[in-house]
Amino acid sequence: MSAGTDRRPVVHLQGVHKRFGALEVLRGIDLTVQAGTVTAVLGSSGSGKSTLLRTINHLEKVDAGLVEVNGELIGYRRAGNHLRELHEREVLRQRSGIGFVFQHFNLFPHLTVLENVAEAPLSAQRRRRSEVLPRARALLERVGLADKADEYPRRLSGGQQQRVAIARALALEPSLVLFDEPTSALDPELVGEVLDVIRDLARAGTTMVVVTHEIGFAREVADRVLFMHEGVVVEEGSAAEVLDAPRHERTRAFLAKVL
Amino acid sequence: MTPPTSTTPQVGAGAAGTPGAPAAPGTAHALRVLPARHPWRWVATAVVAVLAAMAVNALVTNPAWDWPTVGQYLFSATILDSLWLTVRLTLVGTAIGLVLGTVLALMRMSANPLLKGVSFTYISVFRSVPLILQLLFWYNLAILYDRIGFGVPFGPQFWTIPTQDLIGPVTAAFLGLGLHQAAYFAEIVRSGFLAVDPGQREAAAALGIPRGRQFWRIQLPQALRIIVPTTGNEVIGLLKGTSVVYVMALPELFYQVQVVYNRTGQVIPLLLVAAVWYFALTTVLSVLQWAVERYYGRGSTREDQRLPLLVAVRSLRAARSRRAGVTR
């Protein structure tokens, strides 16, 4: 969208490999995400797209390759010829600059909506309540849930819960927000309200990587579209290039199935 | 069993199908819904009511229960003293059990194989040996180790104390009950943590919430929802289990009533005194358990979670202030 003059890469992945036992889930991923852009990651289930997303904030360790966010190596530091894994405290600090929205929301059920949103700024960023609470309320306002601040998450619909989860991720004022199939667990009629919120974020210039099955949404919002298959990126380009004129046979087969 | 009033065509109904009258279309709204009849429920109710009446009758009319004697001893000083010891045994046993049990559970869940192994061994040993045996071991600890010393492990000791001075019968009972209980609590605590959705920890980690905070603020309150009800049952079990301590000749409730009836010969009424007190204490614990469960269950259902008492008080207050407003 507003890639504009500032061509600063927020995410930079280089040769990322990841295996679970015998299964190699990521087989050499290179990825660059520019500031203020939206990248949609498509692919059939098992193609490694969620794992890719989770390596960006070190929820998954990598077996080889570099992951950088805002020029900072994530999860490791360079020690000569080695990558030394960082202490958990360091990783947590790095993560507090990266928002993550889960497929199943993962809201804290015993905390109210407002407490969910305020928790990380209070405990991870150690900011003052007087500063955090008004901001949390403003974020709930932004996702259209100002009146639900004192409810518990289970009393909300799936769509509302996911909007709270987005507000919770934004509360850290992240430079990057990662979405892992944010609408896949929702009833069809609730998908729209969540996509509306993400669309607004895109308009505001938030840098986002979205793993999704919503092709229409990707076409409309994404600046770049990646198509993954068996742990590699087989096709990458603008939404028009990948979705309307796919060159790779796998992409064509996938699109034929989901469209 | 509903009669075949279905309006959908019955495929292959054949000979069995009743060629009766399916409700004419448009008249369905006139059909009344009647609840199913349950004649056996009435029979069961009658049987149970008669049995209950017989039980009450047997308790009240048989003079052998000797209710006047029960009343005479229920609040006597000896019984109340022994009751206090029973309460203390329960409280201290629970406290030791909970603290040590939590530590053991955390050890068992850690990635360190030594911590895991020690915890596993402790739990299996203390769960396998009967409580009464464990209590006798602690009671006789002085035979095994006549002095207890403090100092450098395997090295010099700075001071020592005779075991009997450090661990008297009451302390032995506290230890015996607490250490036995810890093995059970450890498993309860562990199952509580295993029951918390791993997505919770992941979400907390993704938000960069510090490790300690993840534990205290996110995981523990959710684990407690599972831990509290089972713990309540364990504490009630421990309360009754304290009666085993009579083998150590400690004057707790059960031991004390035996002392009294050995002197007076009023066996049944004194056993009844003990039973009434155990029942009363268990009832108190059950109410406590209910309140705590409610607190940790908040957010777990879609219903209104406020305590009914609180709601009643609030609405009463609101009504009063309204009335006050009118008269003013």
**Helices and strands (H and E) in chain A: how many:** 9, 12
User: A residues 117-156 near B, CB within 8 Å?
Assistant: 119-120, 123-125, 152-155
Higher-confidence residue of A153 and B167: namely A153
Mean of the per-residue pLDDT values of chain B: 84
Question: CB contact, 8 Å: A51 with chain B?
Answer: no
Interface probe, candidates A58, A108, A166, A176, chain B, greatest B C-beta count within 10 A: A108
pLDDT at B66 over 70: yes
Mean pLDDT (whole number) for B169-182: 93
CATH of domain B79-298: 1.10.3720.10
Q: In which residue are the tokens 């004649």 written?
A: B39
Among A5-14, B99-108, B202-211, the range scoring the smallest mean pLDDT is A5-14
Rounded Cα–Cα distance for residues A191 and A178 (Å): 17
Give the number of other Cβ atoms within 10 Å of residue B45's Cβ.
Answer: 10
Query: Measured between alpha carbons, how far is A38 from A202 in angstroms, rounded to an integer?
Result: 7
Minimum CA–CA partner of A170 in chain B: B207
Average pLDDT estimate for A169-179: 95
Cα–Cα distance between B210 and A113 in angstroms, integer?
Answer: 20
| Chain A closest-CA separation from residue B285 CA (Å) | 24
Give me the pLDDT at residue B327, please. Answer: 46
Structural domain boundaries of chain B? Answer: 79-298
Specify the DSSP class assigned to residue B247: G
Amino acid at B274: A
Q: Cα(A224)–Cα(A34) distance, rounded to whole angstroms? A: 10
The interaxial angle of helices B131-139 and B169-195, nearest 10 deg, is 140
Segment B96-153, tens digit of pLDDT: 999 999 999 999 999 899 999 999 999 999 999 999 999 999 988 888 888 888 888 8
Under 8 Å between Cβ of A219 and A202: no
- Select the residue of A93, A109, A110 nearest B208 (Cβ to Cβ): A93
CATH number of A9-97+174-258: 3.40.50.300
Tens-place pLDDT, residues A137-151: 999 999 999 999 999
Say what percent of chain A tops pLDDT 70: 97
DSSP string covering B148-171: EEEESTTS-EEEEEEHHHHS-HHH
- Per residue in A202-240, pLDDT (tens digit) is 999 999 999 998 898 999 899 999 999 999 999 999 998
| Res. B9: pLDDT tops 80 | no
Which residues of A are less than 8 Å from B223 in CB distance?
Answer: none
Residues of B at the A interface (Cβ-Cβ below 8 Å)? 197, 199-200, 202-211, 213, 217-218, 221-222, 225, 296, 298-302, 305
Q: Which residue of B has its CA nearest to A54?
A: B206
A111 touching B, CB under 8 A?
A: yes
Residues of A in contact with B210 (CB under 8 A): 89, 92, 123-124
* pLDDT band at residue B15 using 50, 70 and 90 as cut-offs: very low
